[in-house]
Amino acid sequence: MSYLLNTPPEVAEMLARIGVSSLDELFSTLPAELRLQRSLEIPPALTEIELTRHLSALAAANQAAGDGVCFLGGGSYDHFIPAVVDAVASRGEFYSAYTPYQAEASQGSLQAFFEYQTLICQLTEMDVANASLYEGGSAVAEAVLMALNSSDGRREVLVAESMHPEYRQVLATSLANLDVRIVTLPTPDGTLNPDELRKALTDQTAAVVVQHPNFFGHLEDVQTLFSLAHAKGALAIVSFDPISLGLLKRPGQYGADIAVAEGQCLGTPMGYGGPYLGIMACRQEFVRKMPGRLVGETTDRNGKRCWVLTLQTREQHIRREKATSNICTNQGLFALRAAVYLAALGPKGLRETAELCLQKAHYAAEQLGKLPGVSMKFKGSFFKEFTIKLPVDVPSLLTKLRQSGYHAGLSLGRWYPNLSDCMSVAVTEKRTKEEIDGLVAALGNVL
C-alpha cells in the first residue's frame, strides 16, 4: 500500500499519463529498504504572513558585524566602504549582468573588467591580472595548479603553515586526485624560517606558497624565501592583503611569480563569509597558463578602441583536457566593486587606510598586552592583525565579549590545536580609540 494515502490530483494525472497505477509501482525499481515508508515529517503549509514572520525570526538570530564592535579577521575584515562603491555597483547594467556568451557585445562590462585588471597590475606591480577568481582560497589553489602546469614535471609544493588553514584545505582538496605532494612547513614562531625552507626545497619543488601578511598577521621574510625558491628553480606564490600594499612592498618588487589575494577588503561587505573576490596577477611569461577570464584592448574595424576576451583557454572554448581552468562565471560584480574602491581611494587614500590600520592595531596590541595574563604569542612585525595568548578558555571568553557588544576575534584552536589558548585580533581603519579601549576594558572585566 502506498504511504501517500491521499494522492493529489496532479500526481494521479501524472501516473495515469505514464501508465503507472501507483507511486509504489513508480518506485518499484528501488529496493524497499531504501524507500521512506512514511510521509515526510514537515509542518503544514504557512500563509504568506506566517512565512514572512517565521523567516524574519530566523534572520534575527544572526548577528552581523555591524551589530557589535568588530575585531574579526582571518581573511574577512570590517573595512570602510565609500558610498560611491554601492552607487556604481548597484546600477542595473552592472548589477544584473551575467557572464555573456557573446562577450564582445558587452563592451561596458568588458571595459570595467579591463580597468579592474589595470588597477590590480598597478597595485601589485605584476605584468598581468585576470578578471577574476572566486575567492582567496580557490585563488591559491588555481595559482598552484598554474605553477604545476609551468614546472616541467615537478610534482611537489611547499606551503607555509602560517598560511590561512582554510586556504590550505582548499588546496589539498583541489590536488587530492593529482600526483602532487603537498609539504606543509612548520611555523612555530609565527613565520616561516628561511632555514626550514632551504632544507625542504628539492629538485621536485614546483612552487613555494607563502601568505604575507600571514594568517597570524605577521610579516614573512618574503624576499629571502622567494630568493631561495628561485635558486632551486621553483616558482614563488604569495597570498597578500591588498590593503597592506598601501605601505608594504608589492609582490612584483620582492620576486613573486604569481600573486593572489582575497579581495573582500576592497569594497565588499563581510556578508557572513561571502560571496567574495579572488584576485590573481602574474608575470608576463605565465600569461598563457593563467586561469579564468582575461580582457584585452584592441580596435574594431572602424579603428575605434574596444575590448575583447583574449587567450580564452577555458573549457567552454577548447577541449576540456586542454583547458587551464574550470572557471565558468567570474566574480565580475565584486571585481567592479574593487575597481571603484581603488579608484575612489587612489594611492594616497590607500596609504592612509593602511597607515590607520597599522597604527590602530599596534595601539590595540600594546593596550591588550597590559592586561594580567595577556601576552603577544609571536614576536616580530605585524600589519593590522595580531595573535594574543590568554589565561582562560578562549571560546567562552569570546562568547562573553560578544554579549558585551564586541566581536573580539577568532579562536585559533579551531584550526591549530597547539594554539587553543590564543586568539587573533584584527583592527581596521574603522575602529576608534574609544572602541579599542572599550575592548580592553571588557576583556579586563571578563578576566
Asked if pLDDT for residue 3 goes beyond 70, the answer is: no
Same domain, 329 and 383: no
Same domain, 321 and 225: yes
Same domain, 162 and 251: yes
By C-alpha distance, which of 272, 309, 314 is closest to 67? 272
Per-chain mean pLDDT for the chain: 93
Whether 59 is in a domain gets the answer no
Q: Point out the domain boundary residue: 310, 341, 372.
A: 341
Same domain, 206 and 286: yes
Same domain, 394 and 310: no
Asked if pLDDT for residue 98 goes beyond 80, the answer is: no
For position 165, which CATH number holds? 3.40.640.10
Residue 431 has a CB neighbour count (10 Å cut-off) of 23
Q: What is the pLDDT of residues 272-294, one digit of tens each?
A: 888 999 999 999 999 999 988 88
Asked if pLDDT for residue 223 goes beyond 60, the answer is: yes
H/E stretch holding 388 reads strand 385-389
Same domain, 88 and 155: yes
241/225 Cα distance (integer angstroms): 18
Whether 61 is in a domain gets the answer no
Asked if pLDDT for residue 94 goes beyond 90, the answer is: no
155/203 Cα distance (integer angstroms): 10
Whether 63 is in a domain gets the answer no
Same domain, 316 and 393: no
Whether 50 is in a domain gets the answer no
Instruction: Give the burial class of 328: count Cβ atoms within 10 A of its Cβ; 0-12 exposed, 13-18 middle, 19 or more buried.
Output: exposed
Could you tell me the three cell numbers for 192? 616561516
Same domain, 325 and 362: no
For position 398, which CATH number holds? 3.90.1150.10
By C-alpha distance, which of 382, 378, 380 is closest to 363? 382
Q: Point out the domain boundary residue: 286, 313, 341.
A: 341
Q: What is the pLDDT of residues 10-69, one digit of tens each?
A: 888 999 999 998 888 888 899 988 888 888 888 889 999 999 999 999 999 988 888 899
Q: What is the pLDDT of residues 328-381, one digit of tens each?
A: 666 889 999 999 999 999 999 999 999 999 999 999 999 999 999 999 999 999
Whether 298 is in a domain gets the answer yes
Domain that holds residue 355: 68-78+346-446
Same domain, 91 and 214: yes
Same domain, 334 and 214: yes
By C-alpha distance, which of 205, 237, 230 is closest to 136? 237
Q: In 96-135, which residue ranges form alpha helices assigned H by DSSP? A: 107-124
Whether 173 is in a domain gets the answer yes
Same domain, 215 and 242: yes
Whether 245 is in a domain gets the answer yes
Number of domains in the chain: 3
Same domain, 286 and 363: no
Whether 248 is in a domain gets the answer yes
Could you tell me the three cell numbers for 7? 494522492
Q: Point out the domain boundary residue: 279, 309, 341.
A: 341
